[in-house]
Structure 1
Amino acid sequence: MSWTVKSLVLPLVLLCLWGLQEGAQACWCPPVHPQTAFCQADFVLKAKVLAKEDVGIFVKNDIKQLQVVKMFKGAHVDIGAIYTTTDPGACALTLSTGVEYLLSGRLAPDGLPHVVSCDFLAPWDSLTACQKTNLVHGYRKGCDCQAQQSS
């Protein structure tokens, strides 16, 4: 090998390894039907985001203060705020203040409601009429059903 080829090999290898490490930190969510997401969530609600607050020193989190408009699932849970990560690799969630959203999520062991971008969420105005109707009447009824693949 000539000197110029040898001098290019190490930087190319390092660049490829760096690219793999960056890719490993990306958030990826498998496609999930809204009914499945509804059934897997601890809570599903329509809420308006009132404010955002950054918390944490080593692990950054956002607390989003909410005005709950309607609870579709988890009525026993008192939710005035949700917790989200700011780490893109952990599926950080971006919500705009003043906008109404459909939000779903899980309760952490400490009882705090957490939401990530893989959860069932969307700006309320982007939902179809069918989705809005199913939030009230349909999705809950199908939670006991298990889809099976035929052979």
Structure 2
Amino acid sequence: MSRWVLSLFVLLCSWRLSDLLVGACTCVPVHPQDAFCNSDIVIRAKVVGKKLMKDGPFGTMRYTIKQMKMYRGFEKMPHVQYIYTEASEGLCGVKLEVNKYQYLITGRVYDGKVYTGLCNMNEKWDRLTLSQRKGLNHRYHLGCGCKIKPCYYLPCFVTSKNECLWTDMLSSFGQPGYQSKHYACIKQKEGYCSWYRGWAPPDKTIINATDP
């Protein structure tokens, strides 16, 4: 095989690998409450540094953070100093800006380290709505026993009393919609789960409110 042919072969293989990685990370839409309830760690933080670690085939990015507040995960890791993610976006690695924004960061704990990625909820803090911030502080943890059921096409129905029907995908084409931005799925006194939006701090255990 000539050197030119070998170089062309390597280049084509590199393109195919690159194309594969770019399309490899696919995430389904997740309501912020589910992102909260399904995470080991939920914090508000500012990224103050980053370092590429030589872990795995494409490396791991280690972000050094300044933790502002923890919303979930006290029993697992009361203070987070580092956040780890894949260096490649094709492998669901998330890119965070250094010394620029405060972020809401969610992740999982493995071997004493916090890992996050594109399929976790990582959002600039100033983009969160007031209801989402209240959800982090008061409401989302009250709904972790409820199930948010996505509706992708009509007709769709709830099938149990602990479900809330999530219809943002019908009106917002998979983007965060009104229910994502303003509602939490909370268990009521009657044992049913329903969407809740309110401005007063909720009861510490349950909320007696009708579905708006």
TM-score, length basis structure 1: 0.80
Deviation (angstroms), 1:97: 0.7
Between the two structures, name the one with larger relative contact order (CA 8 Å, sep ≥ 6): 1
Give the Å deviation of 1:144: 1.1
Equivalent residue for 1:30?
A: 28
Query: Contact 2:53 / 2:60 at 8 angstroms: preserved in 1?
Result: yes
- Following superposition, the deviation at residue 24 of structure 1 comes to 6.6
Root mean square deviation of aligned Cα: 2.3
Q: Distance in 1 between matches of 2:21 and 2:95?
A: 21
| Aligned-residue offset at 1:146 | 3.0
State the shift of 1:88 in Å: 2.0
TM-score w.r.t. the length of structure 2 is: 0.58
Counterpart in the other structure of 1:3: none
Q: Where do 5+ consecutive residues of structure 2 fail to align? A: 1-11, 150-157, 161-212
Per mean C-alpha deviation after superposition, the further-off stretch among 20-29 and 56-65 is 20-29
Matched, 1:150 2:151: no
2:178 aligns with none
Which residue identity does 1:115 align to in structure 2? T
The equivalent of 2:51 in structure 1 is 53
SS in 1 for 2:36: helix
Shift of 1:48: 0.5
Q: Across the two proteins, how many residue pairs are aligned to each other?
A: 134
2:103 is matched with 101
Q: Percent identity?
A: 35
- Structure 1 runs (4+) greater than 2 angstroms displaced: 18-25, 146-151
How has the CA–CA distance of structure 1 residues 50 and 37 changed in structure 2, closer, same or farther, with 3 Å as cutoff? same
Larger % of helix: which?
Answer: 1
Shift of 1:150: 2.7
Quote the Cα distance in structure 1 between the aligned partners of 2:82 and 2:18: 33
Take 1:79 and 1:139, find their aligned partners in 2: how far apart are those partners?
Answer: 21
Q: Report the residue type matching 2:48 in the other structure.
A: L
Q: Which runs of 5+ in 1 are unaligned?
A: 1-14
- Matches of 1:147 and 1:87 in 2, distance apart? 30
Letter in 1 for 2:128: L
Task: Quickly say closer, same or farther: Cα 1:70–1:54, change in 2 above 3 A.
Answer: same
